[in-house]
Amino acid sequence: MTATFRGVIPPVLTPFNADFSVDTESLRRLVDRLIDGGVDGLFALGSSAEMAFLTRENRRVAVSTIVDQAAGRVPVIAGVIDMTTPRVAEHVADALASGAQGLVATAPFYVRTHRNEVIEHFRLIHEMAPDVPLFAYNIPICVHYTLDAGLLIEMAAAGYIHGVKDSGGVDAATRAMVDAKRAAGLDEFLVLTGSETTVDLAYLCGVDGVVPGLGNVDPAGYVELARLCTEGRWEEAAALQTKITSLFGIATAGDPARMGGSSAGLGGFKAALVHLGVFDSGRMAPPHQALNDEELAVIGRVVDEYGLK
Amino acid sequence: MTATFRGVIPPVLTPFNADFSVDTESLRRLVDRLIDGGVDGLFALGSSAEMAFLTRENRRVAVSTIVDQAAGRVPVIAGVIDMTTPRVAEHVADALASGAQGLVATAPFYVRTHRNEVIEHFRLIHEMAPDVPLFAYNIPICVHYTLDAGLLIEMAAAGYIHGVKDSGGVDAATRAMVDAKRAAGLDEFLVLTGSETTVDLAYLCGVDGVVPGLGNVDPAGYVELARLCTEGRWEEAAALQTKITSLFGIATAGDPARMGGSSAGLGGFKAALVHLGVFDSGRMAPPHQALNDEELAVIGRVVDEYGLK
Amino acid sequence: MTATFRGVIPPVLTPFNADFSVDTESLRRLVDRLIDGGVDGLFALGSSAEMAFLTRENRRVAVSTIVDQAAGRVPVIAGVIDMTTPRVAEHVADALASGAQGLVATAPFYVRTHRNEVIEHFRLIHEMAPDVPLFAYNIPICVHYTLDAGLLIEMAAAGYIHGVKDSGGVDAATRAMVDAKRAAGLDEFLVLTGSETTVDLAYLCGVDGVVPGLGNVDPAGYVELARLCTEGRWEEAAALQTKITSLFGIATAGDPARMGGSSAGLGGFKAALVHLGVFDSGRMAPPHQALNDEELAVIGRVVDEYGLK
Amino acid sequence: MTATFRGVIPPVLTPFNADFSVDTESLRRLVDRLIDGGVDGLFALGSSAEMAFLTRENRRVAVSTIVDQAAGRVPVIAGVIDMTTPRVAEHVADALASGAQGLVATAPFYVRTHRNEVIEHFRLIHEMAPDVPLFAYNIPICVHYTLDAGLLIEMAAAGYIHGVKDSGGVDAATRAMVDAKRAAGLDEFLVLTGSETTVDLAYLCGVDGVVPGLGNVDPAGYVELARLCTEGRWEEAAALQTKITSLFGIATAGDPARMGGSSAGLGGFKAALVHLGVFDSGRMAPPHQALNDEELAVIGRVVDEYGLK
Give the model confidence (pLDDT) of A82-112 as tens digits: 999 999 999 999 999 999 999 999 999 999 9
Label residue B70 exposed, middle or buried (CB < 10 Å: 0-12, 13-18, 19+).
buried
- Residues of chain B scoring pLDDT < 70: 1-3
Active site annotation includes B110: no
Backbone angles phi, psi at D254, to 5 degrees: -65, 140
Question: Would you state the pLDDT for residue A309?
Answer: 77
Q: What pLDDT band is residue A4 in, cutting at 50, 70 and 90? A: confident
> If you ran DSSP here, which 8-state letter would residue D106 be given?
P
Q: At D146, which CATH number?
A: 3.20.20.70
Give the model confidence (pLDDT) of D268-292 as tens digits: 999 999 999 999 999 999 999 999 9
Query: Which residues in B161-178 are b (16+ Cβ under 10 Å) and which e?
Result: bbbbbbbbbbbbbbbbbb
CB contact under 8 A, C197 and B172: yes
Question: Would you state the pLDDT for residue D4?
Answer: 81
Q: Is the confidence at residue A198, as pLDDT, over 90?
A: yes
Tally the domains of chain A.
Answer: 1
Give the model confidence (pLDDT) of C49-98 as tens digits: 999 999 999 999 999 999 999 999 999 999 999 999 999 999 999 999 99
Three-class DSSP category at B190:
strand
User: Shortest Cα distance from D136 to chain A (angstroms)?
Assistant: 21
In a domain, C265, yes or no: no
Subunits next to D (3 or more Cβ pairs <8 Å) are A, C
Share of chain D above pLDDT 90, in %: 98
Mean pLDDT of A299-304: 97
End-to-end CA distance of chain A: 35
Question: Would you state the pLDDT for residue A3?
Answer: 46
Q: Over chain D, what is the mean pLDDT?
A: 97
Choose the closest CB to B232 out of C204, C235, C245: C235
Question: Would you state the pLDDT for residue B309?
Answer: 78
Tell me if D281 sits within 8 A of D23, measured CB to CB: yes
Give the model confidence (pLDDT) of D150-202 as tens digits: 999 999 999 999 999 999 999 999 999 999 999 999 999 999 999 999 999 99
Question: How many angstroms separate the CA atoms of A220 and A213, rounded?
Answer: 13
Backbone angles phi, psi at B64, to 5 degrees: -70, -35
Q: Which positions in chain C have a beta carbon within 8 angstroms of at least one beta carbon in chain B?
A: 169-172, 175-176, 179, 195, 197-198, 200-201, 204-206, 232, 234-235, 238, 242, 245
Give the model confidence (pLDDT) of C234-285 as tens digits: 999 999 999 999 999 999 999 999 999 999 999 999 999 999 999 999 999 9
Question: How many angstroms separate the CA atoms of D180 and A197, rounded?
Answer: 14
Tell me if A144 sits within 8 A of A88, measured CB to CB: no
Residues 6 or more apart whose Cβ sits within 8 Å of residue C305 = none
Three-class DSSP category at A105:
strand
The per-residue DSSP string of A75-90 comes to -EEEE---SSHHHHHH
- The chain B residue lying nearest C233, using CA atoms, is B234
Q: Is the confidence at residue D302, as pLDDT, over 60?
A: yes
- What stretches of chain C adopt beta strand conformation (E)? 7-8, 42-44, 76-79, 102-105, 134-138, 163-166, 190-193, 209-210
Binding residues of B for pyruvate: 211
Choose the closest CB to A287 out of B52, B121, B143: B121
Residues 6 or more apart whose Cβ sits within 8 Å of residue D292 = none
* Interchain touch C–A (≥3 Cβ pairs closer than 8 Å): no
Backbone angles phi, psi at C147, to 5 degrees: -85, 105
Q: Cα A232 to the chain's mean position, in Å?
A: 25
The B163-166 sheet, strands edge to edge: B7-8, B209-210, B190-193, B163-166, B134-138, B102-105, B76-79, B42-44
Q: Is C8 assigned to a binding site? A: no
Position B122, amino acid: F
Choose the closest CB to D114 out of C120, C124, C263: C263
In a domain, B283, yes or no: no
CB contact under 8 A, B53 and A85: yes
- The chain A residue lying nearest D232, using CA atoms, is A235
Q: Which positions in chain A have a beta carbon within 8 angstroms of at least one beta carbon in chain D?
A: 169-172, 175-176, 179, 195, 197-198, 200-201, 204-206, 232, 234-235, 238, 242, 245
Higher-confidence residue: D261 or D1? D261
In a domain, A217, yes or no: yes
The residue among C209, C202, C205, C207 whose CA lies nearest residue C223 is: C209
CB contact under 8 A, B170 and C175: no
In a domain, C225, yes or no: yes
- Chain C hits for D286, CB-CB cut-off 8 Å, are 84-86, 120-121, 124
Give the model confidence (pLDDT) of C129-155 as tens digits: 999 999 999 999 999 999 999 999 999
Give the model confidence (pLDDT) of A224-258 as tens digits: 999 999 999 999 999 999 999 999 999 999 999 99
Q: What pLDDT band is residue C309 in, cutting at 50, 70 and 90? A: confident
- Chain D hits for A230, CB-CB cut-off 8 Å, are none
Question: How many angstroms separate the CA atoms of D44 and D55, rounded?
Answer: 14
Question: Would you state the pLDDT for residue C4?
Answer: 81
In what helix (H) or strand (E) does residue B103 lie, and over which residues does it extend?
A: strand B102-105
The residue among C49, C103, C38, C48 whose CA lies nearest residue C73 is: C38
Question: Would you state the pLDDT for residue D309?
Answer: 77
> If you ran DSSP here, which 8-state letter would residue C106 be given?
P
Q: What is the ipTM of this complex?
A: 0.97
Choose the closest CB to D259 out of C117, C285, C289: C117
Active-site residue, from B145, B165, B270, B306: B165
In a domain, A101, yes or no: yes
Strand partners for B138: B166
CB contact under 8 A, D234 and A204: yes
In a domain, A30, yes or no: yes
CB contact under 8 A, A197 and D205: no
CA distances for C251 relative to B31, B151, C213, angstroms? 48, 20, 11
In a domain, C145, yes or no: yes
| CA angle D248–D252–D253, rounded 5-degree value | 115
Question: How many angstroms separate the CA atoms of D268 and D291, rounded?
Answer: 8
Phi-psi region of A99 (alpha: psi -120 to 50; beta: other; left: phi over 0): left
Q: How many CA atoms lie within 13 Å of D185's alpha carbon, on the beta-carbon side?
A: 0
Active site annotation includes D222: no
Choose the closest CB to D111 out of C52, C110, C112: C52
- Chain D hits for A245, CB-CB cut-off 8 Å, are 179
- Chain A hits for D176, CB-CB cut-off 8 Å, are 197
Phi-psi region of A287 (alpha: psi -120 to 50; beta: other; left: phi over 0): alpha
* Interchain touch D–B (≥3 Cβ pairs closer than 8 Å): no
Tell me if C161 sits within 8 A of D128, measured CB to CB: no
Structural domain for A141, as ranges: 7-233
User: Shortest Cα distance from D120 to chain A (angstroms)?
Assistant: 24
> If you ran DSSP here, which 8-state letter would residue B42 be given?
E
- The chain D residue lying nearest A197, using CA atoms, is D172
Question: How many angstroms separate the CA atoms of B285 and B16, rounded?
Answer: 8
Q: Is the confidence at residue C2, as pLDDT, over 80?
A: no
